[in-house]
Structure 1
């Protein structure tokens, strides 16, 4: 298995190539090109080395890049990173199943899914810790709505896609839910979804 060539940056020693992704125009900021290219080169090397320790699906999901003018378009890079994460997750699933067996993998995934379900089944407005009264956090009603959809997915298989979870965004409010907790739960949902393939 190889990473799709669209995600790989051009070899800097060869003839000049067009940018790997569309570039932002005007005042719009995008991801800093060298940081993206370096990360994707690292991902390609780790994937081709077939090492499950060098880089993980979680590393890909949590990658962050500086924002600059005339950078790579964020949506295009995020979509490519999603495909790279999918490839790493599939390889990790195969590796885990071959070393520990399908039963161990299923049980681990079931436990992670139950932890998430326990969290999103808490009463609305009390599912996550709150930011301080004078601090901003994610809007409670929006997070609770997404939490309800996740609960439906985990409990009864209601349709939710990995891309929907990856692309969810919340507005801010004073005293809202703490961003770090919500983001960690969404990362966990993605992990479970990728684990079940």
Structure 2
């Protein structure tokens, strides 16, 4: 792996690049505090590195989506969560750029742009629904995402899709909502946010 890819997957610019497996220099939590299991993080990043180097042709290939969805066990003395999450964001960016280049080569620029427009329009159609009715809601006996908070973020995303400004990919990645009875169904909101991240990374 060269340049950006090596940097984001090792998180240590001074680390040797010819030693296998790569040891990822994340800070660790104190003994009584929990963080991501180091072995699980190292194994995933080593697999991601191999997949990136093979341009996605390796067995069990890693993608931008699988980087975004990965989860790790929490253990005492593990890697600091925020440090790993920050690195994973850069890894996802690198895979998204690679996948964008591959898609452009495969589809051609015009077809690729039309595909992104179509995906964005699907999201805009949902976000144009009336407030408090943009997603399915759970029963009043259950907790879902707070309606007004989701609607506020939805308005900002709709603005971004309309003119390309106002929201960054990091803001979408890190958004969090409080809970309320009868709120929006979490899985549906999360799926839309994932789709927005994919579009933002695809268009660069």
- The Cα of 1:26 is off from its aligned counterpart by 5.4
- Following the alignment from structure 2 to structure 1, what is the Cα–Cα distance between the partners of residues 151 and 33? 31
Q: Deviations over 1:176-197 (max 9, x none)?
A: 1111111110000100101111
Change (3 A) 1:19 1:104: closer
1:51 aligns with 2:56: yes
8 Å CA contact 1:32–1:66 kept in 2: the answer is: yes
Q: Deviations over 1:34-83 (max 9, x none)?
A: 11111000000000111257121111111111122221111111111111
**Displacement, 1:157?**
2.7
Equivalence for 2:155: 148
Q: Which residue of 2 aligns with 1:116?
A: 123
Aligned length, in residue pairs:
195
TM-score (structure 2 length as normaliser): 0.87
Aligned residue for 2:133, secondary structure, equals: coil
What's 2:27 paired with?
A: 22
Secondary structure, aligned partner of 1:30:
strand
Q: Aligned equivalents of 1:18 and 1:45: distance in 2?
A: 14
Give the distance between the partners of 2:57 and 2:159, measured in 1 at CA: 32
Deviation at 1:89, TM superposition (A): 0.6
Report what 1:37 is aligned to.
Answer: 42
- Aligned partner of 2:102 among 95, 100, 120: 95
SS in structure 2 of the partner of residue 4 of structure 1: helix
Q: Taking structure 1 as reference, are residues 18 and 41 closer, same or farther at Cα in structure 2, changes over 3 Å only?
A: closer
SS at match of 1:36: helix
Please state how far the C-alpha of 1:159 moved relative to its aligned partner: 1.9
**Counterpart position of 1:193:** 200
Gaps of 5+ in 1: none
Structure 1 outlier segments of 4+, above 4 Å: none
TM-score (normalised: structure 1): 0.90
